[in-house]
Structures are given as C-alpha cells and as structure tokens.
Structure 1
Amino acid sequence: MKCIVGLGNPGKTYQSTRHNIGFMVIDELLNRFHWDLNKKKFNGKYAMERVAGDKVILLKPQTYMNLSGEAIRPLMDYYNIDTEDVLVIYDDLDLPAGKIRLRGKGGHGGHNGIRSMIDHLGTKEFKRIRIGIGRPITPQPVVDYVLGGFPKDEHEDVIASIKKSADACEAWFDRPFADVMNEFNSRYI
C-alpha cells in the first residue's frame, strides 16, 4: 500500500494559498482518477482505491499545516504502512514557482509541516516532492507570504508544477522512487 500526503490547511480561507499546493496536487490526482475524499478519520480526509492492483491512499491532513504529522501517524499505524511507502508533497520557499524537486529523505528546512511529519514518524527518511513557491520579493513576514495567493503571472508555472508533481506520483506507482526522482529532477532543472 502506498500513501501520498499533500500538506496544506483545511478550509476555504486557505484553499488557493501557496501553503496549500500539496492539497492542490492531491486534487489533481483525485480528478485524474475520478476519486473522492470519501473517508474522514485520523484527523484527515482521504481516499483509498486500487491502482494496478495495489492499494493507494491519497490524504489531506485536516490538522492545519504545523500539526500534519498528527494525521499521518495514526493512519500509517492503522493500515500498517511503512515509511518507505509514504510520499509527502509540500511547498518550498527555496525553489522558484513552477519548479519541483524530489527527494528520498532530508531535514525539515524550516518547514513546520515537515517538522511535524519528522517528529511523528520518528525519521527523516520518507519520500518528498517539494514544489517551488519562491520567496517574497517585497519585505513581508513569511507567514503572510505562504498564506497568500499566487500572483497571476505565476499561475501557468504553478499549474505546470502541480501537473508535474502528479505525474511523478503516478510514475511512482509503477517504478522505484529512485528512478522517478532521477527522471523528474533531471527533466525539470
């Protein structure tokens, strides 16, 4: 069983913000597969279906970003999912809008959602797709920036990064993550 977790904040207020790009990738996958987030348990909303004979869970934690680990740990325990079968998708200030970067492990890099994941999983070794949101050009608190929407001139790049990330998720269903990482990291430099 594989579990793909998109990080974000619940509620309409945050729906189109930079911090919710992980949720946007989950929405893209739900649309592609014609699935619904029809389960609500473990502080999250999720879908569980089969892809090529294997079970796949798509999860949106409903704990708010900084407590994301509180949703994934109980779900993993309940379904007996190993950390090697978890892929987390989230926003990254250090990448420009439209860029994605796949990693097999790493630190939190100041991202509180990832910090929570590391704390609750007890390891830094889980797969990730980092999606660039860029840094603010004008002086403003980071929290205001990540909770703001994308400017119109970035929409095309943002949509492309969401689709590329969903493509990478689908590729992971069939191939080892190292192969997917090599392909997508070299293709989208």
Structure 2
Amino acid sequence: MLMVVGLGNPGRRYEATRHNAGFMAIDLLADDLGISLDRNREQAIIGRGLVGNNRVLLVKPQTYMNNSGQAVAPLARWYGIAPEAILVIHDDLDLTPGRLRLRPGGSSGGHRGLQSIMMHLGTTNIPRLKIGIGRPAAGEDVVDYVLQPFSQNDWELVRPVLLKAAEAARFLLEGGDMEEAMNRFNQ
C-alpha cells in the first residue's frame, strides 16, 4: 500500500490559506483518482482506492499542521506502510509561488508539519512534494502569512502547480520512479 499525505489545518477558517496547499493538492488527486475522502481514522480524513495494481491511502491529518505526525504515524503502522512508501505534500516558504519540487528525503527545512511526521516515524527518509508559497514581505509575521489566503496574483501561479502536484503524485502511485518524477516535474 502507498500513502499520500496532504498537510494543512482542519476547518473552514483555514480552507483557502497558503498553509493548506497540501490539502488542496490531495483534494485534486482524490477527484482525479475517483477516491472519496470519506472516512475518519487516527485523527485524519482518509480515502482508500486502487491505482493500477497499487492500493492507495490518501490522508488529510486533522491534528493541525504542527502535529501531523500524530495522525500519519499511527496510520502507517495500522496499514503497514513504510516511510519510504509515503509521499507528503506540503507548502514551502523557500519556493516562489508557481514552483514545485519533489525530493526523496532529507531535512524538514523548518516545516513543522514535516518535522512532526519525521519525529513520529523516526526517519528523514520520507518522500515529499513541496508547493511554493513564497516568503512574506519584510517585517510580516510568517505565521500570519501562511494562515492567509493566497493573493489573486499568487493564486494564478499556484493553481496550475496544485494540478501539477496531483499529476506528479499520480505518476508515482502508478509506479513511476522518483528520479524520473523529479526530472519530469521539478521546476
């Protein structure tokens, strides 16, 4: 079984915020694959399905971003999914809006949701797909920035990247190789 986790914060208040780019990508992927996100398990909304011969679990943790590992690790244990079979989709301040980057593992880059998952799984070898949201203006608080909706200009850049993120995740779920995916989708 393969798991794709989109990171974000639960609730209508956060629905369209920069920090919920991972949730947005999971919703697009679920629609594309015809998988309903209709179950609650281990503090997450999940959907299960098949992509080719691969069983797939789509996950939206409901623990709030900084505690994402509290949902992801128990799900990985329950379904017997190794960390390297999990793809985490999340926002990234260090990428400009309109950019996307796949990585097979490495540091969290300061992303607290990813840090939580790494801590709970005990490894940094977790594939991730980063969606660029850019940095706040000088003097603007980072927390306030990530919890705001995209500006109209940024949304025009991010919307196509969310579609491309869903496409990249599907490529991997269909058995595509990470190196080939990085060559094809990294911008």
The aligned residue for residue 111 of structure 1 is 111
Q: Deviations over 1:12-46 (max 9, x none)?
A: 00000000000000010111122211210111000
Normalising by structure 1, report the TM-score.
0.96
The aligned residue for residue 39 of structure 1 is 39
Kindly indicate whether residue 158 of structure 2 is the aligned counterpart of residue 158 of structure 1. yes
CA–CA distance in structure 2, aligned partners of residues 30 and 156 of structure 1: 22
The aligned residue for residue 148 of structure 2 is 148
- One-letter amino acid of the counterpart of residue 182, structure 1: N
- One-letter amino acid of the counterpart of residue 50, structure 2: R
* Deviation of 1:181 (Å): 1.4
Q: How many matched pairs? A: 186
CA–CA distance in structure 1, aligned partners of residues 111 and 51 of structure 2: 31
* Deviation of 1:138 (Å): 4.4
Matches within 5 A, 1:109-188: 109-173=109-173, 174-185=175-186, 188=187
Kindly indicate whether residue 69 of structure 2 is the aligned counterpart of residue 53 of structure 1. no
The aligned residue for residue 76 of structure 1 is 76
* Deviation of 1:83 (Å): 1.0
- One-letter amino acid of the counterpart of residue 48, structure 2: M
CA–CA distance in structure 2, aligned partners of residues 57 and 181 of structure 1: 22
* Deviation of 1:97 (Å): 0.4
CA–CA distance in structure 2, aligned partners of residues 63 and 77 of structure 1: 17
RMSD across aligned positions (CA)? 0.9
Give the SS at the match of 2:72: helix
CA–CA distance in structure 2, aligned partners of residues 110 and 83 of structure 1: 19
Normalising by structure 2, report the TM-score.
0.97
The aligned residue for residue 17 of structure 1 is 17
- One-letter amino acid of the counterpart of residue 125, structure 2: E
Give the SS at the match of 1:109: coil
Q: What are structure 1's unaligned runs of at least 5 residues?
A: none
Give the SS at the match of 1:58: strand
Q: What are structure 2's unaligned runs of at least 5 residues?
A: none
